[in-house]
Amino acid sequence: MFKILSKETIGVSIVRMVIEAPRIASKIGPGQFVIILSDEKGERIPLTVADFDREKGSITIICQTIGASTKRLALLNEGEFIRDVVGPLGRPTDLDGIKSVAVIGGGVGCAIAYPQAKYLYNSGARVDIIAGFRSKDLIILEDDMKAVSHDLTVLTDDGSNGNKGLVTDGLRKKIEDGADYDAVIAIGPPIMMKFVSLLTKQYSIKTIVSMNPIMIDGTGMCGGCRLTVGGETKFACIDGPDFDGHLVDFDELIRRNGMYKNEEACENERFHECNLDKIGGDV
């Protein structure tokens, strides 16, 4: 059992939890993930770790409550316990030798982009963060991202924060203005990572993307998380979750991610019928 040390709502349907997990915190690196089972009735949720504190023995997760399982998790409160947290899983992001980087976060993907930016900033690299959200009310982690970057650009699709554009617009502008990046790290919806990778390919900038396919066991056994990278089958849980964005077949990933939409909708409906009262303003 893993104790929830703190829980806060940081955006629309987005919760941040700090969890006591000293063994995981002692080993985990940026980009690695854990699989969470909130209680005996929950399903396994893979979540890339948003932060960790080796001294305090804690890890931080940021979770968007979009499905029944994430909603069950978000019902737990500070002082309560999560049944299982397994990890660290996957490989840490290879950040060696990066001296100047653009870290791109799309929506909730900013939670996963943040530890990469933090690690590189603390290692002395030049870090520009470009974060995109659909509108102003969905912006998260602005102060956190500001603290680990030399320059933070926050864009909204509808311009409601006074800075209209997609993350690709922000990145193109930086490059055209002369930014000389060794690497771009892009984490967000697959469609965003696809278009960031198409852009950086034009400029031959190394691009790391974090894949979030369907995951079940997290150990390379079930094949649920398979994707095609450079024409080869890879498993996000053991070969990733980070891959070379110029080699990923994003269209296949997008198709596979949509495969269980109907089942998820049914499960969500069942969850709502059982938990309508409890959810209230809590999630």
- Using the structure block, give the residue that is written with the tokens 């089942």: 263
- Would you count residue 57 as binding ligand FES (CB under 6 A)? no
Which residues within the stretch 68-127 sit at the binding site for ligand NAD (CB under 6 A)? Answer: 106-109, 112
| Part of the chain binding ligand FES (CB under 6 A), chosen from 51-59, 178-186, 216-224, 266-274 | 216-224
- Using the structure block, give the residue that is written with the tokens 């554009």: 165
- Would you count residue 134 as binding ligand NAD (CB under 6 A)? yes
DSSP 8-state class, residue 263: H
Contact of 74 with 283, CB cutoff 8 Å: yes
Which structure tokens are listed for 190? Answer: 């697959």
Which residues within the stretch 152-171 sit at the binding site for ligand NAD (CB under 6 A)? Answer: 155, 157, 166-168
Q: Which of 218, 240, 241, 245 binds ligand FES (CB under 6 A)?
A: 218
- Phi (first) and psi of residue 238, to 5 degrees: -115, -30
Helix runs in 123-239, H state only: 142-147, 167-176, 190-202, 236-239
- Would you count residue 39 as binding ligand NAD (CB under 6 A)? no
**CA 21/CA 61 separation, integer angstroms:** 12
Contact of 38 with 83, CB cutoff 8 Å: yes
DSSP 8-state class, residue 171: H
# residues near ligand FES by CB under 6 A: 12
Q: Which of 98, 215, 229, 253 binds ligand FES (CB under 6 A)?
A: 215
Q: What is the dihedral of CA 202, 162, 9, 123, to 10 degrees?
A: 50
Q: How far is the CB of 238 from ligand FES (least distance, A)?
A: 6
- Would you count residue 48 as binding ligand NAD (CB under 6 A)? yes
Q: Which of 179, 198, 216, 254 binds ligand FES (CB under 6 A)?
A: 216
Collect all residues with Cβ–Cβ distance below 8 Å to 27 and sequence separation of at least 6. Answer: 88
- Would you count residue 256 as binding ligand FES (CB under 6 A)? no
Contact of 148 with 118, CB cutoff 8 Å: yes
Q: Which is nearer to ligand FES, 57 or 224 (CB)?
A: 224
Which residues within the stretch 223-242 sit at the binding site for ligand NAD (CB under 6 A)? Answer: 241
Distances 208 to 108, 134, 136, 215, 229 between C-alpha atoms, Å = 17, 23, 27, 20, 12
Which structure tokens are listed for 235? Answer: 């498993």
- Would you count residue 221 as binding ligand FES (CB under 6 A)? yes
Residue 252 carries which side chain, given as an amino acid letter?
E
- Residue 42 contacts which entry, ligand NAD, ligand FES, none (Cβ below 5-8 A, type-dependent): none
- Residue 200 contacts which entry, ligand FES, ligand NAD, none (Cβ below 5-8 A, type-dependent): none
- Would you count residue 200 as binding ligand NAD (CB under 6 A)? no
Q: Which of 224, 228, 252, 257 binds ligand FES (CB under 6 A)?
A: 224
Is 248 strand, coil or helix?
A: strand
Binding stretches for ligand FES (CB under 6 A): 215-218, 220-225, 235, 237
Binding stretches for ligand NAD (CB under 6 A): 48, 106-109, 112, 132-134, 155, 157, 166-168, 187-189, 191-192, 195, 210-212, 241
